[in-house]
Chains A and B, each alone.
Chain A
Amino acid sequence: MDFDTQVKTAIYSHIAATTRTPAVAEVAAEVGAHPGEIREAFGRLYRKRVLVLQPDGETIRMAPPFSGIATQHRVVVDGKEYAANCAWDALGVPAALHADADVFSRCEQSLEKLRICVRGGRPEPVPCVIHFAVPAAHWWDDIVHT
């Protein structure tokens, strides 16, 4: 396994276990590398569109489907609460973890609470639709606002 893959795997393992995106120092300890090497790997993973970083260049904002900050999309799996980046990623969390989940979100217009239960490998029906405001060709113009 190459170094960047080790770093990526450590990041996702950390999130799955703790619900939090790890700091550079935590990934460095996990893979046994210098923090500077981890920062460089974070930069490469960002350029490959695996991660989205905060402006400081080292804090993970997104490791899709997981969010590094609290959002309106919360996903509870086995009693752990994960933050997701968007509607797609809210369902991406149970898809990635291969687990039942309760997705707590809202109607973007009315702000009415929305709960989607994923059970046995599929979401239970809920009256809702999903709107993508940005065409696929432009998602990475500003991936935080799609």
Chain B
Amino acid sequence: MSFFRSEERVDEWCRAHAVPRRPLMSLEQLWSLALAWYSNRLNPDARRPGPDEMRAIFTAAGLQGPFWDPQSDMFS
């Protein structure tokens, strides 16, 4: 996942690399994910979130749909 200055730069990059345009995320949404994923990472009892926890984290950040579903088979 990468930073882009604007949506226009994303479109240019997708065309240049012949990849589909995927959902975009704001800096605030990315920060929300960073906190959910990593704020406990240095603690001994930290662990990666499971699929249901991942869905809850994405939903809380306003990210829903099969693209954010860790068990979706829509993109196989």
- Which chain A residues have a beta carbon within 8 Å of chain B's beta carbons? 1, 5, 8-9, 12-13, 16, 48-50, 64-65, 86-98, 105-110, 112, 114, 116, 122-123, 125-139, 146
- Within 8 Å by CB of B6, from A65, A90, A127, lies A127
- Which chain B residues have a beta carbon within 8 Å of chain A's beta carbons? 1-7, 9-10, 12-14, 16, 19, 21-31, 33-35, 37-39, 41-42, 44-45, 48, 54, 58, 66-76
Question: How far in angstroms is the closest Cβ of chain A from B9?
Answer: 4
Q: Which residues of A contact B75 (CB under 8 A)?
A: 135, 137-138
CB of B1 within 8 A of CB of A132, answer: yes
B interface, by DSSP: helix, strand, loop or mixed?
A: mixed
With CB as the reference atom, state the residue of chain A lying closest to B24.
A129
Complex Cα distance A136/B71, Å? 8
